[in-house]
Amino acid sequence: MRSIRVETSGATVLLTEAPEPKVKDRQTGEIAKDAQSGEVLMRLGVVYIDGGEPSLLQVTLPESGVTEGLALGAPVTLIGLIARPWESVFNGQQRHGIAFRAEAIAPAAISVGAGA
């Protein structure tokens, strides 16, 4: 399916779940790896606020894309964020959703308005 680039420049993104290795198989504990590079994939949670509308997102990114200095509740920048619709059949039921993937995450600078 097609990937859709997500514009983040006008949004506020806050880290809600620290990065941790993404589990591919919960029964065996196998860690997910990028199909092309073989690099370990990480999963983290953010709240994405755009136009006053908040959304909780789970984002996957390569381990090398996790920058030092991340703090829960702090603003972050998601570099190269894309959304990819998916669908599958599990136990005879059709499921669908949107997977989010980024190239990297870094602490964001907080901009202070002129009136502050």
Could you read off the pLDDT of 19-60 as tens digits, one per residue?
999 999 888 989 999 989 999 999 999 999 999 999 999 999
**Contact status, residue 69 vs residue 82, Cβ threshold 8 Å:** no
Phi and psi of 8, rounded to 5°?
A: -110, -5
**Closest residue by Cα to residue 99 from 41, 50, 49, 16:** 41
Q: Does 12 score more than 50 pLDDT?
A: yes
pTM value?
A: 0.84
Q: What is the mean pLDDT of the chain?
A: 91
pLDDT of 110 reads 64
**Closest residue by Cα to residue 50 from 17, 78, 86, 19:** 78
